[in-house]
Structure 1
Amino acid sequence: MILNHRITRISIGILLLALAIAVLLPGLTGYTSLDGTVNARFAIINAPIDGEIAKPPPRIGTPVTEGETLAIIRNERVNRSVLASLRAEQGTARERVAALRRERDELALLRDELAQRLGVFQSATIASLERQLRILEKRVEVSRAQDVVAKVDLDRRQELESKGIFTRKMVESAEAAGAATGGEVEISNLTVDLLQQRLDALRQGIFVMGDGQNDVPYSRQRQDEVIVRINDLNTRIAENDTRAGQTEQQLIEEDKRVRNLEQATVPSPFSGVVWSRNIVSGSNVMLNNEMLRILDCRELFVDILVPEVDYDDIYPGREAEVRLFGRAEVFKGRVQAVKGSSAVVEKDSLAANEPETEERNARIRVALTPSALNTDFANFCQVGRTAQVRFSKRNIRLTQWFESLWFNLF
């Protein structure tokens, strides 16, 4: 039979050897995983305010650029009572300031009028005192002249008395007249000094009370009252100006808050593709409700499982080759993270599920080098696609295999 031919047996042996080499060679020259998954993260876009969606959001699978508008939310039920209250308070403060300024201006006119009246009265009083002073000065001169005459008459009578012509009574009468004229001179001098003091004080704006000057204290008191009132009005004007300014700042902040609550534009945080959406045009949303998920294709990676015995041979930074299942194109990658079989699996922000296993397999994350996959938005950047990852061995470590076998046996 043909199977008993030597050539046939040799051919079959060679085929079996080639098959064995084909089966064992990949394991001897490197590590290969068939359960890899292309993965990426996505950003969850939440509603910044309560309201209604005003424009149709982009459909699932729509590419979006960074800063592009994803949704516009309008809220017509914003509470504006605080804003209205601040505006009313600001208007009241400004009206109060205007009224106080009008009152202050009127009092300033009254103050000027009183000052003018007081100035006129002061000038008239000064002129009157100056005239009285001149009259008294003349009287002083007359009194001095009379005093001189009285002294001369006294001397003459004393001389005639010594000669026996005048009697003593006539001399005493002359002495009395001289004393009277001397007193009148002294009284006149004192009166002149008093008028001079009043005149000097009046020129300095100090009114000394006297007959016919009852109007002066009232005018000055009234003027002082007006000045005090003006100062009080200035203080109240400053307070209301400050209150109006503070209210203006509060009004600006409240108006900004209301405008932010009335409408919000939600931009895309980066360039990517719409992964999912929970809203349509006209739907109502609440604060922090999830609206969209944007797939981030900037950093793609592949999660794979390899036997944990090869944990130390696959380390962060090691280069790898990635091939999508069903495609011949090979993509470059680099190990990003290595986790043990019992490590907690990240699931919340990943677009695809990580491979699961019940065996002792290490979890390897291989970051893909930027390529055409990062811009393949029509196919969601191939996220979720099964991938084959291969790491090349630098040598065949038989020693490690024997040591592992020895440890397991003994």
Structure 2
Amino acid sequence: MFWNNRFVRILVGLALLATSIIVMMPGFTGYTSLDGTVNARFAVLSAPIEGVVSETPPKVGTALPEDTEIFQITNDRIARTAEAQLDADLGAARERLKALEAQSGQLTALKKELATRLGDYQKASLQSIQQEIIIRQQRISTAQANRVSAEADLSRKQTLGATGVVANSSVEAARAAAVSSGNEGTIAKAELDRLNQQLDALKRGTFVGEGRNDVPYSQQRGDEVTIQLANVEAQAKIERARVQLLEKQLFIERARNDRLSNASVRLPFRGVIWRNNVVGGSNVVVGNELIRLLDCRDLFVDILLDEVDYDQIKPGDPADVRLLGTSDVIAGRVNSVRGASAAVEEVTLAAIPPKSRGKNARIRLILDQNAMQTDYENFCHVGRTVQVRFARSAATLPLVNWVKSLWFSIS
């Protein structure tokens, strides 16, 4: 028979041996996982304000560039009471400031008028005193001349009285006249000194005279206006600060109301619409999930491997990734290695990671730049099954590791 032929039996044995070697060779040269999943994260766009959605967002699967406006949210029920109150307070403060500035201008004009009147009065007073000084100087000259004449007359009459020519009464009258003329000169000099003192005081701004105060009414009134003007300027300064504060508060409140009354929902990055939760005209509140946006910029793969090989795979190790049903190989590298009992729940994953069926290590690989990251029509192939293979880095054969683990379990 054909199968009893020795040559055929040798060929069958060699074929079985080759098949065994081919089947076992991948296990000796590396590690292979057949249940990997292409995965990515999505971003949740939530409502920044409450209100009504202006239009229906694009359909699921639509790819949109970065900063694209999807729709707007409008809210016409914003309470602007605080804004109106601030606006009214600001208007009142501006009116008060305007009135204070007008009053300050009037007081300044009055102060200038009083200063002018004071200057005129001081000038007239100086001229009057200077004229009186001139008169006193003339009187002193006249008094000196009268005193010289009286003394000469007294001397003559005393000589004549000694010879009996002139009566003693005439001599006494002449003596009285001489004394009187001397006193008039002394009085005139004293009045001249008094006028000079008044002139000096007047030049310094002090008005000294009988029936007068130290300053005239115009100067007193000017001092009162100066004090009143300082008070008005202080009030105006306080009011200006209040106006600035109200303007700042009104700007902040108005900007806040504008933000709460209208908001534009834009894409933070280029991606594809993963899920829509609203339509045009929908009412939303703050924090409501509006859209889920798939982020295809960083694709990764989650796989499971037997945990006995945990120490053989390190972060940064290269790996080959192949989509199930294709022959194209995508390069990747290990991002993290976690044990079977590690908590890996992530609410932002677009695909469900493979479920462990035993003691499996969870490995995540980052994919290099590839065409899947721009294949938005197919959602960047998120959720597809892949095969991943790692090259064996150690020279230890799997049989040796198996024997070591068996010996450890027996001991």
Normalised to the residue count of structure 2, the TM-score between the two structures is 0.91
Partner of 1:297: 296
Structure 1 alignment gaps of length 5 or more = none
After TM superposition, the structure 1 = structure 2 runs for residues 272-351 of structure 1, keeping only pairs within 5 Å, are: 272-351=271-350
**CA distance in structure 2 between the partners assigned to 1:142 and 1:333 by the alignment:** 129
Residue type of the alignment partner of 1:306: L
Residue type of the alignment partner of 1:35: D
Residues 1:403 and 2:398 aligned together: no
**CA distance in structure 2 between the partners assigned to 1:109 and 1:28 by the alignment:** 106
**CA distance in structure 1 between the partners assigned to 2:392 and 2:120 by the alignment:** 117
Q: Is the 8 A contact 1:347 1:353 kept in 2?
A: no
Q: Is the 8 A contact 2:207 2:214 kept in 1?
A: no
What's the % identity of the aligned pairs?
Answer: 46
Partner of 1:99: 99
After TM superposition, the structure 1 = structure 2 runs for residues 244-259 of structure 1, keeping only pairs within 5 Å, are: 244-259=243-258
Partner of 2:260: 261
SS of residue matched to 1:274:
strand
After TM superposition, the structure 1 = structure 2 runs for residues 4-403 of structure 1, keeping only pairs within 5 Å, are: 4-6=4-6, 9-211=9-211, 217-393=216-392, 395=395, 397=397, 398-403=399-404
Post-superposition CA distance 1:148-193 (Å, at most 9, x none):
1221122122222333434544433332222222111111111122
Q: Is the 8 A contact 2:205 2:215 kept in 1?
A: no
Residue type of the alignment partner of 2:284: V
Offset of residue 40 of structure 1:
0.9
Offset of residue 375 of structure 1:
0.7
Decide which moves more: 76-85 or 399-408: 399-408
**CA distance in structure 2 between the partners assigned to 1:192 and 1:126 by the alignment:** 14
Decide which moves more: 374-383 or 82-91: 82-91
Q: Is the 8 A contact 2:47 2:288 kept in 1?
A: yes
Q: Is the 8 A contact 1:347 1:354 kept in 2?
A: no
**CA distance in structure 2 between the partners assigned to 1:264 and 1:209 by the alignment:** 81
Q: Is the 8 A contact 1:29 1:396 kept in 2?
A: no
SS of residue matched to 1:292:
strand
Decide which moves more: 83-92 or 263-272: 83-92
Q: Is the 8 A contact 1:89 1:247 kept in 2?
A: yes
**CA distance in structure 1 between the partners assigned to 2:410 and 2:202 by the alignment:** 128
Post-superposition CA distance 1:49-72 (Å, at most 9, x none):
222212322222111222112332
Q: CA RMSD in A?
A: 2.4
Identify if the C-alpha distance between structure 1 residues 283 and 53 changes in structure 2 by more than 3 Å, giving closer, same or farther.
Answer: same
SS of residue matched to 2:216:
helix
Residues matched between the structures, number: 409
Q: Is the 8 A contact 2:64 2:270 kept in 1?
A: yes
SS of residue matched to 1:293:
strand
**CA distance in structure 1 between the partners assigned to 2:108 and 2:271 by the alignment:** 71
**CA distance in structure 2 between the partners assigned to 1:366 and 1:223 by the alignment:** 89
Offset of residue 372 of structure 1:
0.7
Q: Is the 8 A contact 2:319 2:390 kept in 1?
A: yes
**CA distance in structure 2 between the partners assigned to 1:206 and 1:220 by the alignment:** 10
Post-superposition CA distance 1:94-153 (Å, at most 9, x none):
222221222222223322332333333333333332332222222222222221122112
Q: Is the 8 A contact 2:206 2:214 kept in 1?
A: no
Decide which moves more: 166-175 or 386-395: 166-175
**CA distance in structure 1 between the partners assigned to 2:177 and 2:48 by the alignment:** 113
